[in-house]
Copies of this chain bind each other. A is one copy, B any other.
Amino acid sequence: MIIILKPNADAQKRADLCEHLVTLGLDVDVSEGQTSTVLGLVGDTSRVDMGSLRILDIVEDVKRVSEPYKKANRKFHPCDSVIAIGEHTVGGDEFALIAGPCSVESREQMLSIAADVARAGATALRGGAYKPRTSPYAFQGMREEGIEILLEARAETGLPIVTELMDVRDLPAFSEVDVVQIGARNMQNFALLKEVGALGKPVLLKRGLSATIEELLMSAEYIMAAGNEKIILCERGIRTFETATRNTLDLSAIPVLKELTHLPIVVDPSHATGVARYVRSLSLAALAAGADGLIVEVHNDPPNAQCDGAQSITPEAFAELSEAVNAMLPIVRGTTTAR
């Protein structure tokens, strides 16, 4: 952390500030310039409140030099993390294809879609049992019963299951679930993050609608600081002024995240756009941008889906997408390794 002092800062106040910083356990480097003096803080600055320094009347500005996250930071963990899910992995050589309906609606629907996506090459099955809905009057999910149906689908297809947790009190129902999803609206539900940090299973952490990349990594850090390092990040669109798509898929986040963190990243083009016919091209774009996988909504009867039918592709479209992914993967990975 760097503190830039105002020109002609009072010498006594400056001495007091340095002393205060030393009591926080920091070393202070002083650089005297003609127009400004810079204090360089050496040591653990993660507990220093930048805002409180910034309001001192001798301080011009305070700037952070190093990232505020450690366990998620590639600097301290240069190799890619690879997370095992069932017989597959996310983050290594494999490309994850997580597919399934927005919500579990019935046993028949779920088993049918599960069989379809398994046949088409999915590596995991998604489906919402507990549903975060903007309206209290909308369908809220099948809850425990939904989880039971997902487990049955896993038994039939062998696909590990990914499903969303919204309330710490529902955790007991998730004991058999393979991957616990934290939704975009809960990315900064810190109580929930701490709780999944105590689990021994992978967490798929979705980026909040207005979360910066740094905030996403700080939420991952919450889970990791609580003991669970098996985290899969998920880019799912951010909120911008553009209304042609539901949100704006931020594919630039992929190369940025690949630099900053060792955690794997999957992309959700279904929620990002809200429109099924844009899913294919953005899925391939995510792969080309360097993503480690996709999470895609697939429904056997989109017009009659209980939720988000407009963004669900059919099993046939998913099979075709899976083929396209497999055709493109060696080219992307081949060219990528030549980097």
Q: Which residues does A use to contact B, with CB under 8 Å?
A: 2, 4, 27, 29-36, 38, 40, 42, 46-47, 49, 51-56, 60-61, 63, 65-66, 68-69, 132-139, 166-169, 185-186, 188-191, 194, 208-210, 212-215, 218, 221-222, 225-226, 238-245, 248-256, 259, 272-274, 276-278, 280-282, 284-290, 302-311, 320, 323-324, 327-328, 331-332, 334-336, 338-339
Q: Nearest B residue to A133 by beta-carbon distance?
A: B190
Q: Is the CB of B243 within 8 A of A136?
A: no
Instruction: Please pick, from B194, B213, B252, B282, the residue contacting A249 in the complex, using a CB distance under 8 A.
Output: B252
* Chain A to chain B: the 6 pairs with minimum beta-carbon distance, closest first: A31-B31, A210-B210, A51-B310, A167-B191, A52-B309, A285-B289
CB distance from A220 to the nearest CB of B (A): 10
Residues of B within 8 A of A138 (CB): 46-47
| Additional 8 contacts, C-beta under 8 A, given A35-B66, A136-B222, A136-B226 | A31-B31, A56-B303, A185-B188, A189-B189, A212-B244, A284-B288, A287-B288, A324-B331
- How far is A91 from B213 in the complex, measured between Cα atoms in Å? 34
Residues of B within 8 A of A46 (CB): 135, 137-138
CB distance from A136 to the nearest CB of B (A): 4
Residue of A69, A194, A284 with most partner-chain B CB within 10 A: A284
Residues of B within 8 A of A68 (CB): 135, 137
Residue of A132, A255, A336 with most partner-chain B CB within 10 A: A255
Instruction: Please pick, from B38, B133, B240, B308, the residue contacting A240 in the complex, using a CB distance under 8 A.
Output: B240
- How far is A185 from B210 in the complex, measured between Cα atoms in Å? 10
Residues of B within 8 A of A185 (CB): 188-190
SS class, residues of chain A in contact with chain B: mixed
Residues of B within 8 A of A32 (CB): 29
Q: Nearest B residue to A75 by beta-carbon distance?
A: B7
Q: Is the CB of A256 within 8 A of B284?
A: no
Q: Is the CB of B277 within 8 A of A255?
A: yes
Some 25 contacts from A to B, beta carbons below 8 A apart, are A4-B65, A29-B38, A31-B40, A38-B40, A46-B138, A47-B139, A52-B302, A52-B309, A53-B303, A137-B225, A167-B191, A185-B190, A210-B239, A238-B240, A244-B252, A248-B248, A251-B251, A251-B282, A255-B277, A281-B288, A282-B289, A285-B286, A288-B288, A324-B338, A331-B331
Q: Nearest B residue to A310 by beta-carbon distance?
A: B51
Instruction: Please pick, from B38, B134, B305, the residue contacting A38 in the complex, using a CB distance under 8 A.
Output: B38
Instruction: Please pick, from B52, B55, B218, B226, the residue contacting A135 in the complex, using a CB distance under 8 A.
Output: B218
Residues of B within 8 A of A166 (CB): 189-191
